[in-house]
Structure 1
Amino acid sequence: MPVQLRSVCLYLSAVFSLLLFGLPLHAAPDSQHGIAMHGDLKYPPDFSHFDYVNPDAPKGGHFKESSIGTFDSLNPFIVKGTAAAGTGLLYDSLMARALDEPFSQYGLLAQQLRVAVDRSWIEFDLHPDARFSDGHSVSADDVVFTFDILREKGSPFFKSYYAGIQSVTALSPQTVRFEFGDSTNRELSLIIGEVPILPQHFWAERDFETPSLEPPLGSGPYLIKKIDPGRTIVYTRNPNYWGRDLPVNRGRHNFDQRQYDYYRDSTVALEAFKAGEYDFRSEHASKAWATGYTGAPFADGRIIKEEIAHENPRGMQGFIMNTRRSMFSQPEVRKALALAFDFEWTNSNLFYGAYTRSHSYFSNSEMAADELPTPAELEILEAVRDQVPPEVFTQVYRAPTTDGSGRNRAQLREALGLLKQAGWQLESGKLVDGNGSPFTFEILLVQKEFERVVSPFIRNLERLGISASIRIVDVSQYINRLRQFDFDMVVYGFGQSSSPGNEQRDYWHSSSADMPGSRNLIGIKNPAVDYLVEQLIAAPDREQLVLRARALDRVLQWNHYVIPHYHISAYRIAYWNRFAHPEVSPAYDLGLDTWWTKP
């Protein structure tokens, strides 16, 4: 018998033997206690707690925070209504994220998991002790129900974010299996582990799509104690919380009560904080940080002011132009408007030099495209060469800069030249199109404090013959208008994680551009962007993830979709000296749930 034929016969014989005795051709994956996006897990199966917690932190105390605006709902999963702050405290997810790893998870509702080598499916075995706060066991049917109702009746974001899930099946009362249509999406196995699991029996006789102030049922560490609609919500720690002794929870959820008080204005909120009306404040306004945190409580140590560095990518904040509006449809126009924003003057005169200019959609990370593309990255970009601006291949993008004097005439002359290329002309000091229609638009704001940033920008636009106005609306109206893409320009931020993935579809993909409630506020419909988003999601390892993120970054940058703002790489916080936090802070989060009240 020829050697090749003999080999084939031996192979077929082996396969037949395996089938005859019911043995698998490939060994089933082993059960594991956690899962990492790329690389190995930091914590072993027998770990007792995360490194960034105090495992012996005392329990007790009442912790008050603030929120701006109002609320009329306790359901954060739907489009309608404005959900109250802190509702995540009510729910557990299948897995808990480690805040000192780029993207790793460990068992919470799920005691263990099994995942295919190619990540085409994943199975979770639920913890036998997992309970909702009414005592009902958390079952595989609840997991199936959660993903079904979120995709069918939840915010459009969920349908897009979980589009790769082909099926969710309860294999037994305690085991659930997810099948994925696309095995190249490594992140999908992890993002489903972060979803709050909802009780099927609770929602069976309730309308999921209607906003309500009825306290919902969850399996998390807190319950709702008190609601003053639109003003205050108080959560109390559940003394019967099933998961309090799990390794992922040790040293966490230390406050007996957590409270959110609502204020209409952040200036009023700051004064209320200094008067002792609430306990903790995270400051985002540099002027307030430089000038507002003064007085006796700071001088005598009753309030602690602190900056805590982190390693989080800062993403992109900026003036977001709605390209569904005709005046913003041309990249030359968008580039011209960016030249009218004088960051250097703004940073020096309004922000006390506190900020760094953002140039990248992945600022403060290795994924930022801040050098010329490498050969490996060029290989990725080659597929879209004919669909992207040529600068993608030859230049490093930098947002426009000035000398900070406030006299940015050179930038405005360049801007006017770009506007003329796009068909706009100055007539009697007004910029008009070929039909004589003036260039006018509205900047929609929800924070009055941003007026001081927007006003100098508007004055520069006036020098170009452009008439821009400010409209400030309340939180509910602002949310609704963004959901319906009913705006010309807004100040908005696209946050990024250390492991970007499915959320990029919601940010930039054509499929989300016309989906009300999506975060594609810009209205991007660009086949090159679509291709690179899918490439990023399908990245097989960390190296490719970084390269593909940089490629996507370049294409977004050179299409001039936003007017970049600025960022800072530290948390600016202040708190009354009744609280303490661990000496080691997590690299990728503030870790507020690891804090405790001093005895």
Structure 2
Amino acid sequence: MRGLPLLLACAILSPAAWAAHGYALWGDLKYPAGFPNFSYVNPQAPKGGELRLVSNLRYSTFDKYNPFTIKGSPPAYLSALMFDSLLAGAADEVGSGYGLLAEDVEVPADGLSATFRLRKEARFQNGDPVLAADVKHTYDILIGPYTSPAYKTVLDDVAGLDVLDERTVRFRFKKNNRELPLTVGGLPIFSRKWGMENGKAKRFDQVVMDIPIGSGPYKIGPVKFGRDITYVRDPNYWARDLNVRKGTSNFDRITVKIYKDATARLEALKAGEFDMMRFFSAGDWARRVNGRKFNSGELVKGEFQHKLPSGFQSYFLNSRLPKLQDPRVRQALGLAMDFEYMNRTMFYNSYQRVTGLFGNTDCKSSGSPSPEELALLEPWRGKVPEAAFGPAYEPPRTDGPGHSLRDNLRQARELLRQAGWEVKDGALRNAKGEPLVLEYLDSQESGARVVTPWIRNLEKLGITLNFRPVDFALYQERLQKKQFEIISLNVQGTHTPGQEYVDLFGSKSADIEDSGNYTGIKSPAVDAILAKMTGAHTKAEFLPACRALERVIMHSHLLIPQWSASTHRIAYNAWRLQPTPSMPPYSQGEGWAIDTWWSRPQQANL
């Protein structure tokens, strides 16, 4: 989320704790101790060749190599390719982590610490051993003043880190939280020497273009600023034969090309300038991904089914602003969005509507609240939406019997009237005569096409929604400072929501610059439910808490849910690339190719 490294899930060990090869959040690990490799890789995959990718990031280029600081934009894929963590996740298993930098992990019966023992063979890319002091240094930097506040939020319940010996560290926790061993196990680890100048460490926000010293499989190679960056495989990568890395990192070079806009990227793919592109536009996929190289079979289109959570791509409404503080106004805005029309006329019926925070997971709420959910909600009756005590949230529809845009707009008009807004002189106005004018902020001019149907429907209510595209640097600054009214964000889902949701919806993060609390929600009820969710000791405690959280957030109408897809749409060069036989169910799109594909034989020596 928002550039934060994947946080790996771990499991509490039995009452008599012992060092284990991995960690599973709620039960047994899929892979036993001593397993040879993950089942979805080819352990004999040849090494060599080049994978040519394209940056799909909203910004067109990069201006720093430090992915952890607030300001600036790092190159695509840098964190994943250059930094190892204590634990590594498996793409065919939910909520698990296996020893990478750490050869084992130990959690006592009280759950108040996690001890990791580092592998003696673990090395940074400069040849130095990875030591406990480096883990301590990384932790201290990430909770310091010069990094993204998201790290401080997810590490808020970590009391500290102790160096027990040269290769052993112990994280101490403020409370028994099953997620915390997972959180610290997923932190990217970097060398104490990164950012050193004349024997003295620079302030971390001044570590900008210093080449990172990580322990991952790739280093930074040739760079053409504004055009591309190449990562080169480290032939001395310390973990190349480790079970969690066997069959991965097969390309000698991974080049990420940079183009100014989506049209240029698509035409470059058709011309064979790079090997792979993941598509997020249903229109492009249906109508424009074609041409001579597709007809010849050199380029192929693949739709790969996954079991990832649907996430909650949504319009985020900034409730810090007076005109968006009334939930009835926010609900009315949502009633004016006609997803079914958009899916039919613009998206080729390729999307499903997002219905909450936790779609396609066990955390998804349904029907009326269970007794366990009610026990969490009842103490806050009158301080959370009354609708949270009824059926689970469902977004408004315009298809099928009893559903129409006209009916939705009628309901929206009544909600606005109750909130003190009436149509006068051709515009919706409050008691002071002020019109309801809103701004939708985007970093791409192409976003106007998608938001236009919503703008037209809001006009029928007397509401003006202005589309304002800005360059990415200004867009990023305004998001960091929460200087917007409405934005669209795609928040990836998770089967194991935890501390990152405190960053999204916790009161403390509402006033922190660059936090994830874009909606501005400050609710003691939400804070209490989040505490129950992150502090759950069993799945029976965890599921009611996350379901209660979803009910409160969605019925507060802080988000207007958009859409999601159950497949990864990827076009790739079948003459240059060899995929593994099947995609693991929890793979993140092109990450599957980066991790496990390889060059076809004729390409291996290029």
> In the alignment, is residue 172 of structure 1 matched against residue 174 of structure 2?
no
Kept in 2, the 8 Å contact 1:364–1:569? The answer is no
Kept in 1, the 8 Å contact 2:195–2:207? The answer is no
Shift of 1:180: 0.3
Kept in 2, the 8 Å contact 1:446–1:478? The answer is yes
Shift of 1:421: 0.8
Aligned partner of 1:132 among 124, 132, 141: 124
- Cα shift readout 1:197-220 (whole Å, capped 9, x = no counterpart): 111123343331136223211111
Kept in 2, the 8 Å contact 1:360–1:370? The answer is no
Shift of 1:465: 1.2
* Structure 1 stretches of at least 4 aligned residues deviating more than 3 Å after TM superposition: 403-407
> In the alignment, is residue 209 of structure 1 matched against residue 202 of structure 2?
no
Equivalent residue number for residue 12 of structure 1 = none
Kept in 2, the 8 Å contact 1:342–1:404? The answer is no
Q: Which has the larger radius of gyration?
A: 1
Equivalent residue number for residue 550 of structure 2 = 553
Shift of 1:27: 8.5
- Cα shift readout 1:562-584 (whole Å, capped 9, x = no counterpart): 11111111111110112122223
SS in structure 2 of the partner of residue 42 of structure 1: coil
> In the alignment, is residue 87 of structure 1 matched against residue 78 of structure 2?
yes
Equivalent residue number for residue 584 of structure 2 = 586
Equivalences for residues 257-406 of structure 1 within 5 A: 257-403=253-399
Aligned partner of 2:32 among 44, 48, 70: 44
Shift of 1:408: 2.3
SS in structure 1 of the partner of residue 222 of structure 2: strand
Q: What CA distance in whole angstroms lies between the structure 2 residues aligned with 1:115 and 1:365?
A: 27
Q: What CA distance in whole angstroms lies between the structure 2 residues aligned with 1:393 and 1:355?
A: 29
TM-score scaled to structure 1, two decimals?
0.93
Kept in 1, the 8 Å contact 2:332–2:412? The answer is yes
Aligned partner of 2:19 among 8, 17, 31: 31
- Cα shift readout 1:413-450 (whole Å, capped 9, x = no counterpart): 21111111111111111111111111111111123332
Kept in 1, the 8 Å contact 2:15–2:108? The answer is no
Q: What CA distance in whole angstroms lies between the structure 2 residues aligned with 1:132 and 1:357?
A: 44
Equivalences for residues 111-190 of structure 1 within 5 A: 111-152=103-144, 153-183=146-176, 185-190=177-182
> In the alignment, is residue 78 of structure 1 matched against residue 74 of structure 2?
no
Bigger Cα displacement from structure 2, 339-348 vs 475-484: 475-484
Kept in 2, the 8 Å contact 1:72–1:230? The answer is no
What is the number of residues matched between the two proteins?
573
> In the alignment, is residue 453 of structure 1 matched against residue 445 of structure 2?
no
Cα separation, partners in 2 of 1:458 and 1:425, compared to 1, 3 Å = same
Kept in 1, the 8 Å contact 2:15–2:109? The answer is no
> In the alignment, is residue 497 of structure 1 matched against residue 494 of structure 2?
yes
- Cα shift readout 1:358-414 (whole Å, capped 9, x = no counterpart): 111111222211322222322332332332222212223211111399982222121
Q: What CA distance in whole angstroms lies between the structure 1 residues aligned with 2:448 and 2:400?
A: 19
SS in structure 1 of the partner of residue 175 of structure 2: coil
> In the alignment, is residue 109 of structure 1 matched against residue 101 of structure 2?
yes
Q: What CA distance in whole angstroms lies between the structure 1 residues aligned with 2:188 and 2:489?
A: 26
Bigger Cα displacement from structure 2, 518-527 vs 468-477: 468-477
Q: What CA distance in whole angstroms lies between the structure 2 residues aligned with 1:418 and 1:112?
A: 57
Shift of 1:281: 0.8
- RMSD of the TM alignment (CA)? 1.7
SS in structure 2 of the partner of residue 455 of structure 1: helix
SS in structure 2 of the partner of residue 386 of structure 1: coil
Shift of 1:35: 0.8
Equivalent residue number for residue 22 of structure 1 = none
Shift of 1:453: 1.2
Gaps of 5+ in 1: 1-25
Q: What CA distance in whole angstroms lies between the structure 2 residues aligned with 1:540 and 1:305?
A: 44
Aligned partner of 2:230 among 219, 225, 234: 234
Equivalent residue number for residue 62 of structure 1 = 50
Q: What CA distance in whole angstroms lies between the structure 1 residues aligned with 2:260 and 2:503?
A: 29
SS in structure 2 of the partner of residue 494 of structure 1: coil
Kept in 1, the 8 Å contact 2:328–2:419? The answer is yes
Q: What CA distance in whole angstroms lies between the structure 2 residues aligned with 1:27 and 1:534?
A: 24
Cα separation, partners in 2 of 1:27 and 1:427, compared to 1, 3 Å = closer
Equivalent residue number for residue 598 of structure 2 = 596
Q: What CA distance in whole angstroms lies between the structure 1 residues aligned with 2:46 and 2:456?
A: 54
SS in structure 1 of the partner of residue 313 of structure 2: strand
Q: What CA distance in whole angstroms lies between the structure 2 residues aligned with 1:327 and 1:210?
A: 39
SS in structure 2 of the partner of residue 209 of structure 1: helix
Cα separation, partners in 2 of 1:536 and 1:407, compared to 1, 3 Å = closer
SS in structure 1 of the partner of residue 568 of structure 2: strand
Shift of 1:512: 0.6
Q: What CA distance in whole angstroms lies between the structure 2 residues aligned with 1:336 and 1:472?
A: 24
SS in structure 1 of the partner of residue 549 of structure 2: helix
Q: What CA distance in whole angstroms lies between the structure 2 residues aligned with 1:535 and 1:177?
A: 25
Q: What CA distance in whole angstroms lies between the structure 1 residues aligned with 2:21 and 2:515?
A: 34
Q: What CA distance in whole angstroms lies between the structure 1 residues aligned with 2:16 and 2:397?
A: 57
Equivalences for residues 517-596 of structure 1 within 5 A: 517-577=514-574, 578-589=576-587, 590=589, 591-592=592-593, 593-596=595-598
Shift of 1:28: 6.0
Aligned partner of 1:479 among 473, 476, 487: 476
Cα separation, partners in 2 of 1:407 and 1:105, compared to 1, 3 Å = closer
- Cα shift readout 1:230-259 (whole Å, capped 9, x = no counterpart): 331110000111111100000000010111
Q: What CA distance in whole angstroms lies between the structure 2 residues aligned with 1:27 and 1:412?
A: 58
Equivalent residue number for residue 3 of structure 1 = none
Kept in 2, the 8 Å contact 1:144–1:170? The answer is yes
Cα separation, partners in 2 of 1:229 and 1:123, compared to 1, 3 Å = same
SS in structure 1 of the partner of residue 204 of structure 2: coil
SS in structure 2 of the partner of residue 411 of structure 1: helix
- Cα shift readout 1:66-106 (whole Å, capped 9, x = no counterpart): 11422101111010111111212111111111111111111
Q: What CA distance in whole angstroms lies between the structure 2 residues aligned with 1:211 and 1:398?
A: 46
SS in structure 2 of the partner of residue 125 of structure 1: strand
